[in-house]
Amino acid sequence: MIEIDFNKYPFPARTRHHTNPSYYIPLKDLKFVPKFYPMPIEKNEWNKIFINSKSPQMLDIGCGRGLFLLTVATQNPTLNILGIEVREWCCEWLKNYITSENIVNCGILRYCVGNGLQFIESNSIEEIYYLFPDPWVKNKHKKRRAFNLEFLNEIERLLSKNGKLFLATDLEEVHKYHIKILEKFGKMKFVEINSDEEWNKPLTNKEIFCKKENIKYYRIIAEKSINCINK
């Protein structure tokens, strides 16, 4: 696990876990577009994100404060990993840390995944992480959940042969929702993971908190079928 010197890299004095809820909603579904909304991207210039100008091989969607993102990047120096996050302060803090510590294979993008990931090439991503997303448990808020059939279509398109999607949540309701959508989608085989050995990934900020407070959490690994390679 990467060790971050928070005296050298302090978080902003005033931070909020949530941001403007409209930022989580696709542009096409908004009646009013708020100021600073992260607009859709059709094509990305990877040379502005990664020093080798290559596209990412790993994707961390909703990377938050970035402990997992930074750890995976340092453990896999030959692979590019892109973190996507909608909260501006998280992105700015991560950009500063990545630049200052010269983590050249790690990039961060402020973006709403509800607007699609068309700027990433098909069959190019080995692993996608969607860990402890905002649960949006109230019925009126569930429209803000990014995890839906449209999202899985994008995931399936992006993943390389036998590429994997990693899911985690500390809410059983959200875990069951993930299973329901995966079953309805039907194009990826998946298994529920019950041990750290099977998971074999660094801890996120949320996992560290859950372990400390003895809070149960749930994990799934979904794999792209070899019969689902996009042409």
Please give the C-alpha separations between residue 3 and each of 8, 30, 61, 99, 135, in angstroms, as whole numbers: 12, 40, 22, 16, 28
* pLDDT-flagged residues of the chain (< 50): 228-231
Q: Active site residue: 29, 60, 134, 170, which one? A: 134
* Pairing mode of beta strands 188-193, 218-224: antiparallel
Which two three-digit tokens encode residue 120?
A: 């990433």
Domains and CATH numbers, the chain: 45-228 (3.40.50.150)
Query: Residue 85: helix, strand or coil by DSSP?
Result: strand
Query: How far is the C-alpha of 126 from the C-alpha of 81, rounded, in Å?
Result: 10
Which two three-digit tokens encode residue 20?
A: 């403007």
Q: What is the tens place of the pLDDT at every residue in 71-92?
A: 999 999 999 999 999 999 999 9
Q: Are 128 and 57 in contact (CB under 8 A)?
A: no
Whether 134 sits among the annotated catalytic residues: the reply is yes
pTM comes to 0.92
- pLDDT at site 24: 86
- pLDDT at site 225: 76
Query: How far is the C-alpha of 102 from the C-alpha of 178, rounded, in Å?
Result: 36
